[in-house]
């Protein structure tokens, strides 16, 4: 990364046309960035780049911050920048403590996920089945917490091997750990031990999809 002096020289070069043939001083750059001369002098002494002010400057001048700091051309960043995928996010739907509605009938927006996270969701071919909803309540703590965003694969509804699923019962929409019993009934288990396990018949459950990850795993 370029140092403080290199960045200041780049700024002087960029704004030189605005100063005609006048010499540009550090105090001029400080004014352009909206930094007091005293703070500017301190930053220069410590080689501390004013990133916030520099970002604003680059946005105003339509300049790539990567070019300013690293000399990288915008074209070289296109592939990396485009390695993001969009997943349907039903931000008005919550599950775990009940309530909510079938996401097929709810307004949705798109949530962006990075390329490296796609494999955690099953790969690109599975993305068309992935939807995201919110967690409400504390019944699945510590695995999931209130307001977590979880990713559901609606193509995975087989309860034979168990796991964490989004399900609907007559009581509402839930995120629960599900386990199929030998007698054919289904145990609905909360990770929070304060909540007791429920046992339901298969026909009392609508399986929305398997929970494959949560938003915190994207970070």
pLDDT on residue 219: 43
Distance of CA 57 to the CA centre of its chain: 26
- Has domain 4-79 been given CATH number 1.10.260? yes
Nearest alpha carbon to residue 104 among 215, 208, 212: 208
Q: Quick count: other Cβ atoms within 10 Å of Cβ 94?
A: 21
Q: What's the DSSP call for residue 117?
A: G
Give the count of alpha carbons within 13 A of 74, CB side only.
5
pLDDT on residue 175: 92
pLDDT on residue 88: 78
pLDDT on residue 63: 86
Q: Where in the chain is the domain with CATH 2.10.109.10?
A: 84-217
pLDDT on residue 74: 59
CATH number of the domain at 84-217, please?
A: 2.10.109.10
pLDDT on residue 20: 78
- What is the Cα–Cα distance from 70 to 160, expressed in whole angstroms? 52
Three-state secondary-structure class, residue 22 = coil
pLDDT on residue 103: 43
pLDDT on residue 218: 47
pLDDT tens, N- to C-terminus, the chain (219 residues): 889 999 999 999 999 888 877 899 999 999 999 999 998 999 899 888 988 889 889 888 888 887 888 887 656 555 555 556 778 787 667 775 433 334 444 567 777 777 767 788 888 888 889 998 888 888 898 888 877 888 999 999 999 889 999 999 988 899 999 999 999 999 999 999 899 999 999 999 999 999 998 865 544
Residues 6 or more apart from 65 whose CB is under 8 A from it? 54, 55, 58
Q: Where in the chain is the domain with CATH 1.10.260?
A: 4-79
pLDDT on residue 81: 53
pTM of structure: 0.57
pLDDT on residue 217: 52
With contact defined as beta carbons under 8 Å apart, do 136 and 96 qualify?
Answer: yes
């Amino acid at each position: 990364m370029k140092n403080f002096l290199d960045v200041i020289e780049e700024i002087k070069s960029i704004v030189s046309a605005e100063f005609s043939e006048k010499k540009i001083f550090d105090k001029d750059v400080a004014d352009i960035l909206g930094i007091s001369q005293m703070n500017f002098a301190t930053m220069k002494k410590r080689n501390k780049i004013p990133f916030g002010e520099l970002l604003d400057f680059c946005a105003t001048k339509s300049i790539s911050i990567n070019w300013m700091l690293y000399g990288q051309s915008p074209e070289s960043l296109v592939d990396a920048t485009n390695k993001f995928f969009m997943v349907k996010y039903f931000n008005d739907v919550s599950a775990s403590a009940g309530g909510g509605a079938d996401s097929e009938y709810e307004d949705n927006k798109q949530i962006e996920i990075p390329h490296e996270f796609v494999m955690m969701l099953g790969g690109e071919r599975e993305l068309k089945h992935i939807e995201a909803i919110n967690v409400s309540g504390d019944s699945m703590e510590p695995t999931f917490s209130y307001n977590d965003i979880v990713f559901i694969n609606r193509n995975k509804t087989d309860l034979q091997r168990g796991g964490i699923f989004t399900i609907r019962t007559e009581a509402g929409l839930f995120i629960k750990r599900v386990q199929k019993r030998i007698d054919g009934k289904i145990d609905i288990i909360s990770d929070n031990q304060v909540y007791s396990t429920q046992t339901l018949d298969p026909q009392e459950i609508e399986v929305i999809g398997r929970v494959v990850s949560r938003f915190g795993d994207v970070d």
